[in-house]
Amino acid sequence: MGPYTTIAEVDRIAQMPDPVLRNKQITRSYHDLSLEIAKRTGPCANWCTFATWASRQAGQSIRKEDLLHALEDHLGSVPSLGQSINHLIEGLLAKGSRLNKQAITKLVWETMDPKAAMDRASDAVARGNQKVYAEIGREFARFLETCANDNTYDVESINHFCSPLRSGDPPDGQRYLKQAFRRYYEAFFEPDDKRKAEMILTANIEIGFHEQTRLQPEIAEALETAVVDPAQFKDKLLTTLFPSQSWMQSLSWMFSSIFGKPSPVDAAADAFAMEARHRIRQFLSIRMMELDLPNRHMRLGYDLNTAFPSSLLHLSYPDLLELLKNIDPTPDSLNMTGAVDWADLHERLHFIADMFRCFQEEQALVFTPPG
């Protein structure tokens, strides 16, 4: 790469078929773009800075580093899940299964297939990483090629850049991107340091708002795709154990569903599948809700344990204050910043807005290579 990723390079990287290699190049590209923006705004974090570390973290999910082993350990340590599987095994043995307890246990986990859950979650994360980079990474490259060399504010230059961006709100519109890049451009020439800091924060949050809205389907999918549907799990398990009874069993389930009287095996299979689904989703949420920044590990489900920098301690920029009214329910406070459910867009945006504000002045985020 050159000093920063060009439009052509963004297009090439975004189309790479290997998700692991693509993620590594996306992460490096974000870092290069971040450095180039910082040359004009000063050594503070822009959206590409945070995207660098988020993409690096996503790479761990894409590569599934130790995730399957950790998931199996997690599931094996949950007492209620152990009780659920024991009840299911007892019901299957009473129903006439010729397999012993150990063999049934193995079959239950093969049917649940936690590896497939990891594969599905990894695929959703990879697609989200690719989608955001192909759109927003490309716009940063185009912004630099169009405006980075302007020595004075040129309204025709920034208008030329913004003209292809679509009007309207995300996920289809690009209004927030258009507003954000105008602010970055104005910040290039803003002499007042505090006003510049607030303009950059506003731009960072605006792009974050667009990004997270666009990512909502992939984030929800990564968390919800944990296991097969309980009904599908039960059907597959019982058909495997009792193949000669499959059509009779299907008829029995239909009548049980109509009259609301599930058999003990049906109830035990449903209970196990629902419990396993909950525990796998919980595990994925914890793993996805972690972020490693230079010299700092954050759990996104907990309130931020830091402070606002002096330049952003008291805010006065009108557009920023208006934006935060819709995002931050605890103004000028880090209370309730933890996102209990990362699939909840509003919780996610609250955490991200305050994280951007807290770490905008940390130069280590800008200048530390992501590795």
pLDDT digits (tens, 9 = 90+) for 49-105: 999 999 999 998 888 766 667 777 777 788 888 888 888 888 888 878 888 888 988
Tell me what the mean pLDDT of segment 34-59 comes to: 96
Domain spans, the chain: 7-367
Residue 298: its H or E element: strand 296-299
State residue 89's pLDDT score: 87
Average pLDDT of the chain is 88
One-letter identity of residue 172 = D
Return d(Cα 62, Cα 303) in angstroms, integer.
Answer: 26
State residue 198's pLDDT score: 98
State residue 2's pLDDT score: 47
User: How many percent of the chain have pLDDT more than 70?
Assistant: 92
In this model, does residue 159 exceed pLDDT 50? yes
In this model, does residue 256 exceed pLDDT 80? no
pLDDT band at 221 (very low <50, low <70, confident <90, very high): confident
Return d(Cα 269, Cα 234) in angstroms, integer.
Answer: 6
Report the predicted TM-score, pTM, of the whole model to 2 decimal places. Answer: 0.85
What value does the CA radius of gyration of the chain take, rounded to a whole number of Å? 25
In this model, does residue 331 exceed pLDDT 50? yes
Q: Which of 62-71, 116-125, 256-265 is least confident? A: 256-265
State residue 1's pLDDT score: 41
Q: Which tokens hold the place of 36?
A: 């180039």
In this model, does residue 47 exceed pLDDT 80? yes
In this model, does residue 255 exceed pLDDT 50? no
In this model, does residue 225 exceed pLDDT 80? no
Higher pLDDT, 246 or 320: 320
State residue 178's pLDDT score: 98
The CA angle 181-324-188, to the nearest 5 degrees, is 25
| Beta bridge partner(s), residue 290 | 299
Higher pLDDT, 51 or 243: 51
Q: What are phi and psi of 299, to 5 degrees?
A: -100, 115
Using a 10 angstrom Cβ sphere, with 0-12 exposed, 13-18 middle and 19 or more buried, the burial of residue 337 is buried
Q: Which of 66-75, 175-184, 219-228, 256-265 is least confident? A: 256-265
The answer to whether 49 and 169 are in contact (CB under 8 A) is no
Higher pLDDT, 347 or 280: 347
Return d(Cα 219, Cα 334) in angstroms, integer.
Answer: 24
State residue 241's pLDDT score: 81
Return d(Cα 204, Cα 357) in angstroms, integer.
Answer: 9
